[in-house]
């Protein structure tokens, strides 16, 4: 066994100094990695922000609804999705959404507070003794009526009817009656799905 040399000295390994090209390549790699991480972070932040804003807008200002049933055909059909604008100002012909028995119904405004509504046997609708223009109706009908006509709309309420007059249950029936301002969700302003229904709801 060879005795240990008490005077042995450790010699450091030679250090290889990178040249300029190596330094530049490493710098580019680090910079690219940093930029990629920043881009990912900014993208995720943007997506989260847009999603949060969309939820806030749809909840507070523009609820999105899915249509069920056929009471608003041909204007709106089963499965259509529509956007509503929260407002308390409506005119004859506006399509509105409102709460009824834990559901949201969509109907068309026929008359506002204080107006008189009458419906003839052939389905012609009169408001304050004047027939209203209803180009959205395919088949006028008297429909289900159990209220006394002519009928005066109470204050703070709206008389509404579905566009499919023969089958729609609406303000012509005492089961639903006129819509109060407390029930209102808003005015249906646009169809958003399917794409061939994209655009204003009239």
Q: Is 107 a catalytic residue?
A: yes
Q: Is 168 a catalytic residue?
A: no
Give pairs for 81-84: CB < 8 Å, separation 24+.
81/191, 81/192, 81/193, 82/106, 82/188, 82/189, 82/190, 82/191, 82/192, 82/201, 83/188, 83/189, 83/190, 83/191, 83/192, 84/185, 84/186, 84/187, 84/188, 84/189
The one catalytic residue in 33, 71, 77, 133 is 71
- Identify which of 153, 154, 109 has the alpha carbon closest to the alpha carbon of residue 128: 153
The one catalytic residue in 33, 103, 107, 180 is 107
Residues with active-site annotation: 71, 107
């Amino acid at each position: 066994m060879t005795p240990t040399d008490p005077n042995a000295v450790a010699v450091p390994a030679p250090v290889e100094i990178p040249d300029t090209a190596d330094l530049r390549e490493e710098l580019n790699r680090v910079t690219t990695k940093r930029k990629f991480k920043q881009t990912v972070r900014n993208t995720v932040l943007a997506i989260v922000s847009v999603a949060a804003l969309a939820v806030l807008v749809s909840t507070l200002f523009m609820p999105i609804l899915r249509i069920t049933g056929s009471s608003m055909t041909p204007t709106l059909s089963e499965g259509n999705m529509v956007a509503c604008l929260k407002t308390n100002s409506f005119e004859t012909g506006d399509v509105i959404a409102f709460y009824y028995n834990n559901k949201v119904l969509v109907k068309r405004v026929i008359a506002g507070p204080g107006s008189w509504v009458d419906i003839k046997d052939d389905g012609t609708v009169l408001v304050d003794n004047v027939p209203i223009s209803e180009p959205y109706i395919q088949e006028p009908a008297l429909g289900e009526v159990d209220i006394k006509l002519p009928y005066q709309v109470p204050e703070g309420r709206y008389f509404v009817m579905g566009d499919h007059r023969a089958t729609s249950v609406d303000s012509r029936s005492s089961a639903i009656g006129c819509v109060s301002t407390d029930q209102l969700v808003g005015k249906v302003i646009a169809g958003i799905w399917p794409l061939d229904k994209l655009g204003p709801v009239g």
